[in-house]
Amino acid sequence: MNQPAPTYAIDVQKLNKHFGDKHVVDDVSLQVARGEIFGFLGPNGSGKTTSIRLMCGLLTPDSGTGTCLGYDIVRESAQIKRNVGYMTQRFSYWDDLTIRENLDFVARIYEMPNRREAVERSLESLGLQSRANQLTGALSGGWKQRLALAACMLHEPQLLLLDEPTAGVDPTARRDFWEELHRLAARGISVLVSTHYMDEAERCHKLAYIAYGKLLAQGTAREVIESQNLATWTIYGEHLSKLSEQLRKTPGVDQTVVFGSALHVSGIEHATLEAAVKQAIQGTTLRAERIETGLEDVFIYLMSHSTDNYGAPS
């Protein structure tokens, strides 16, 4: 047990996929280490679901190679499916069955040996026993989602692929769900999870940001932030949206975003940006200070830049 092989739960290189003339996944390479929670972020339609399907062998790439749990994504998709838990974007269950009956039903579909034992184990490991005999239709969104997680873990997969698992779930249930993911990761289970929520991005060990099929940044939150070399200032005061428009036309300012009562102003030319901010607040009651660039600033920057390039004449 010195060297558990393979090192990566997912290791793919230069995956490409077209649908018609649309290049939906464009040279995507990524690695997810064992026991890591890897967040997959990006706007709707950017290729997250398609990438997940490529990585677990449900779709064949036009080009590219890779392994999932050490199995070849093109030639060994049957083994991958047996060892991966996949929670699709719109998971489903039977409203008029109890939680236990739903899990039992899934276990039957997969013809699992020791079905009863597997169901009890998954009820226990996800803290579902107290609700096991309740009808699923009457449960809150958070419990339904916990059921969906239990269902995709019945066969004790080593890798979970979770496609927007918390969309439409309330904040408390989302927090519980993430605590659960961290417990699983601590047990050595790897997790690839796509999400829109910024607070969830910050709870991942590593992140990738994808837009229009292209992976634009990858690494820890800090690495993703540093990769863009943005300086950010925050301005407090009145009439920020007007100021925002004005600053956006100023040299040195690459991006302005209003966050409630503060305006974030970012740019890659740090000195020019500073001059622009100081000039803008001079002789006013506005206050400005340099802050650490946040993940959200960077994601907005990445998204707007990829939009700019999309369809632009080259």
Ligand X SMILES: Nc1ncnc2c1ncn2[C@@H]1O[C@H](COP(=O)(O)OP(=O)(O)O)[C@@H](O)[C@H]1O
Q: Which residues bind ligand X (CB under 6 A)?
A: 19, 24, 42, 44-50
Q: What is the dihedral of CA 84, 90, 95, 100, to 10 degrees?
A: 20
Amino acid making up residue 277:
V
List strands edge to edge, sheet with 22-33: 22-33, 8-19, 63-68, 71-72
* Closest distance of CB 160 from ligand X, Å: 17
* Closest distance of CB 18 from ligand X, Å: 9
**Six-digit token string for 46:** 């950017």
Nearer CB in complex with ligand X: 92/133:
92
Residue 253 CA to residue 245 CA, distance in Å, equals 11
* Closest distance of CB 310 from ligand X, Å: 12
Nearer CB in complex with ligand X: 42/142:
42
* Closest distance of CB 23 from Mg ion, Å: 17
Nearest to 84 by CA among 41, 32, 46: 32
* Closest distance of CB 19 from ligand X, Å: 3
* Closest distance of CB 45 from ligand X, Å: 4
Nearer CB in complex with Mg ion: 65/88:
88
Instruction: Please choose which of ligand X, Mg ion, none residue 94 contacts, taking the beta carbon within 5 to 8 angstroms, the exact cut-off set by kind.
Output: none
Residue 157 CA to residue 86 CA, distance in Å, equals 9
* Closest distance of CB 24 from ligand X, Å: 4
User: Cis peptide leading into 61, omega within 30 of 0?
Assistant: no
Nearer CB in complex with ligand X: 19/110:
19
Indicate the helix (H) or strand (E) that contains 42: none
Instruction: Please choose which of Mg ion, ligand X, none residue 165 contacts, taking the beta carbon within 5 to 8 angstroms, the exact cut-off set by kind.
Output: none
Nearer CB in complex with ligand X: 25/128:
25
Instruction: Please choose which of ligand X, Mg ion, none residue 45 contacts, taking the beta carbon within 5 to 8 angstroms, the exact cut-off set by kind.
Output: ligand X
Nearer CB in complex with Mg ion: 48/264:
48
Please, are residues 151 and 101 in contact by the beta-carbon 8 Å criterion? no
Q: Hey, how many other C-beta atoms are within 10 angstroms of the C-beta on 113?
A: 8
Phi, psi for residue 14 in degrees, rounded to 5: 50, 55
Nearer CB in complex with ligand X: 73/280:
73
Q: Hey, how many other C-beta atoms are within 10 angstroms of the C-beta on 238?
A: 10
- Point out the residue whose Cβ comes nearest to Mg ion: 49
Residue 20 CA to residue 24 CA, distance in Å, equals 9
Instruction: Please choose which of ligand X, Mg ion, none residue 244 contacts, taking the beta carbon within 5 to 8 angstroms, the exact cut-off set by kind.
Output: none
Query: Which residues bind to Mg ion, rule: CB under 5 A?
Result: 48-49
The pairing of beta strand 231-236 with beta strand 8-19: unpaired
Instruction: Please choose which of ligand X, Mg ion, none residue 24 contacts, taking the beta carbon within 5 to 8 angstroms, the exact cut-off set by kind.
Output: ligand X
Contacts of 174 (CB under 8 A, 6+ apart): 142, 166, 197, 200
Nearer CB in complex with ligand X: 194/256:
194
**Six-digit token string for 211:** 């837009």
* Closest distance of CB 117 from ligand X, Å: 35
Angle between helix axes 115-125 and 141-152 (nearest 10 degrees) is: 130
